[in-house]
């Protein structure tokens, strides 16, 4: 049985990553390769870049772990966005260089100047990151495990779940593959029924909600499955049809992306977020998985 440490979103905070790897027991051998004396491997859930001031050293560590065959680094939405930002199209870029998009990417661009050799090499490395990971009893993905969406993108993935060049051409069409990539790496979002809108804390009207796919609910309604919607918003108790199902399979699933706060704990017996907001004064955590089919709070590890 394989044993893994699933590590949350690092976002350019290399010093936290170094401390965590040490705490987890990873060491380097005489050929400067990472290994774990008890045979654990790392699975990174993605989002290595943007926000922190140690982008390069984060990438170097993660790369080193992968090259040491001591772990797997998945693609997060930030690496996916970076690839799209770097990909020219007839209209400009696959991810447009708007003020907002550039601002979100600035910490990375500061250390990897746009178009430089170093920049291009980083983008090429991002393209080698698998979209999801599966082994006996365990699944890992950056934002949302949705079998339907994985099936949609599968023809555009290589055997090791890395993207083929044709995937980006599909994404450019903004069709089903584009939507599935958004779901898998950024999460599930729904438009509210009957033209309903709610106001956020800045008074801005919104007509969508993020969907909580990793919680157990009796009835899949807008009200029961809303994610990061303020408490004062009264969503309809109407069933959501045809969307992503709340996760209800026997394999455990790990993910990052959701900026959790508070004491790390699984969301359900089968689902656990490992992103505890290191880039927002939180902590970098790992879950130590040794094959259990019921996740436990005690298995979260953090310095
Ligand atoms: Mn993310």
Going from the Cα of 187 to the center of ligand 1, the distance in angstroms, rounded, reads: 9
SS3 291: coil
The rounded Å distance from CA 161 to ligand 1 centre is 18
Q: Kindly state whether residues 34 and 10 are assigned to the same domain.
A: yes
Residue 84, SS3 per DSSP: helix
Q: What spacing in Å lies between the alpha carbon of 178 and ligand 1's midpoint?
A: 17
In this structure, is the dihedral angle defined by the CA atoms of residues 231, 270, 278 and 83, taken in order, positive or negative?
negative
Separation of CA 29 and ligand 1 centre (Å): 32
- What are the pLDDT digits (tens) for 98-109? 999 999 999 999
Q: How far is the CA of 31 from the centre of ligand 1 (A)?
A: 33
- For residue 53, report the distance from its CA to the centre of ligand 1, in Å: 17
What CATH number is associated with residue 12?
3.60.21.10
Q: Are residues 137 and 45 in the same domain?
A: yes
From the CA of 77, how far away is ligand 1's center (Å)? 5
Query: What are the helix (H) ranges across 135-175?
Result: 147-153, 165-172
- Please choose, from the candidates 78, 140, 74, the residue with its C-alpha nearest in 3D space to the C-alpha of residue 109: 78
Distance 241 CA to ligand 1 centre (A): 26
What's the rounded Cα separation, in Å, for the pair 6 and 299?
11
| 98 and 211 inside one domain | no
**Total Cβ atoms within 10 A of residue 170:** 20
Distance 14 CA to ligand 1 centre (A): 17
Q: How far is the CA of 75 from the centre of ligand 1 (A)?
A: 9
Task: Say yes or no: 117 and 261 in one domain.
Answer: yes
Same domain, residue pair 241 and 132:
no
> How confident is the model over 162-221, as pLDDT tens digits?
999 999 999 999 999 999 999 999 999 999 998 899 988 888 999 999 999 999 999 999
37 CA distance to ligand 1 centroid (A)? 30
Which of 24-33, 120-129, 240-249 is least confident? 240-249
Pair 256, 121 in one domain: yes
Q: How far is the CA of 78 from the centre of ligand 1 (A)?
A: 6
Task: List Cβ neighbours of 118 (8 Å cut-off, separation of 6 or more).
Answer: 112
The answer to whether 184 touches 132, Cβ cutoff 8 Å, is yes
Query: Are residue 74 and residue 221 in the same domain, yes or no?
Result: no
Contact 161, 133 (CB under 8 A): yes
Reduced to 3 states (helix: H, G, I; strand: E, B; else coil), residue 270 is coil
For residue 222, how far is its CA from the centre of ligand 1 (angstroms)? Answer: 23
Q: Are residues 170 and 125 in the same domain?
A: yes
Go through the chain and tell me how many residues it has. Answer: 303
Q: Are both 133 and 227 inside the same structural domain?
A: no
Give the number of other CB atoms < 10 A from CB of residue 61. 19
Last residue of a domain, one of 246, 265, 290: 246
- Write down the pLDDT at residue 146: 95
Among 246, 264, 281, identify where a domain stops.
246
Q: Identify whether residues 161 and 40 lie together within a single domain.
A: yes
Supply the range of the domain harboring residue 95: 4-186+249-301
pTM for the full predicted model? 0.96
What's the gap in Å between 16 CA and the centre of ligand 1?
17
Boundary-marking domain end, from 199, 224, 246: 246
45 alpha carbon to ligand 1 midpoint, in Å? 9
> Same structural domain for residues 149 and 172?
yes
**Do 65 and 209 fall into the same domain?**
no
Average pLDDT of span 133-152: 97
| Number of domains making up the chain | 2
Share of the chain above pLDDT 90, in %: 91
Q: What does the pLDDT read at residue 243?
A: 83
Alpha carbon of 272 to ligand 1 centroid (Å): 15
Rounded-to-integer distance, Cα 50 and Cα 48, Å: 7
User: Roughly what angle, to the nearest 10 degrees, separates helices 165-172 and 77-86?
Assistant: 80
pLDDT at position 111 is 98
Q: What burial letters (b/e) apply to 141-166, b meaning 16+ CB within 10 Å?
A: bbbbbbeebbebbeebbeeebebeee
| pLDDT (tens digit per residue) in 242-282 | 888 899 999 999 999 999 999 999 999 999 999 999 999 99
């Amino acid at each position: 049985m394989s044993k893994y440490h699933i590590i949350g979103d690092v976002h350019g905070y290399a010093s936290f990553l170094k401390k965590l790897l040490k705490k987890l027991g990873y060491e380097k051998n005489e050929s400067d390769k990472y290994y774990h004396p008890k045979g654990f491997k790392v699975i990174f859930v993605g989002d290595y870049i943007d926000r922190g001031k140690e982008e390069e050293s984060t990438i170097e560590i993660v790369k080193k772990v992968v090259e040491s065959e001591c772990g797997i680094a998945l693609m997060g939405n930030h690496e996916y966005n970076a690839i799209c930002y770097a990909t020219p199209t007839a209209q400009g870029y696959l991810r447009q260089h708007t003020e907002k998009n550039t601002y979100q990417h600035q910490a990375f661009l500061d250390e990897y100047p746009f178009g430089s050799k170093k920049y291009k090499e980083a983008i090429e490395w991002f393209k080698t990151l698998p979209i999801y990971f599966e082994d006996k009893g365990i699944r890992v993905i950056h934002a949302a495990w949705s079998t339907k969406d994985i099936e949609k993108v599968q023809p555009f993935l290589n055997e090791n779940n890395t993207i083929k060049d044709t995937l980006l051409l599909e994404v450019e069409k903004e069709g089903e593959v584009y939507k599935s990539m958004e779901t898998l790496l950024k999460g599930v979002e729904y438009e509210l029924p009957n033209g309903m809108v709610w106001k956020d804390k800045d008074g801005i009207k919104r007509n969508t909600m993020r969907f909580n796919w990793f919680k157990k609910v009796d009835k899949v309604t807008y009200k029961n499955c809303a994610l990061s919607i303020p408490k004062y918003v009264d969503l309809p108790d109407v069933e959501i049809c045809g969307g992503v199902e709340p996760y209800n399979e026997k394999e455990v699933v790990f993910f990052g992306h959701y900026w959790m706060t508070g004491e790390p704990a699984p969301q359900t017996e089968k689902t656990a977020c490992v992103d505890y907001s290191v880039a927002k004064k939180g902590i970098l955590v790992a879950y130590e998985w040794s094959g259990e089919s019921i996740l436990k709070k005690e298995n979260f590890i953090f310095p």
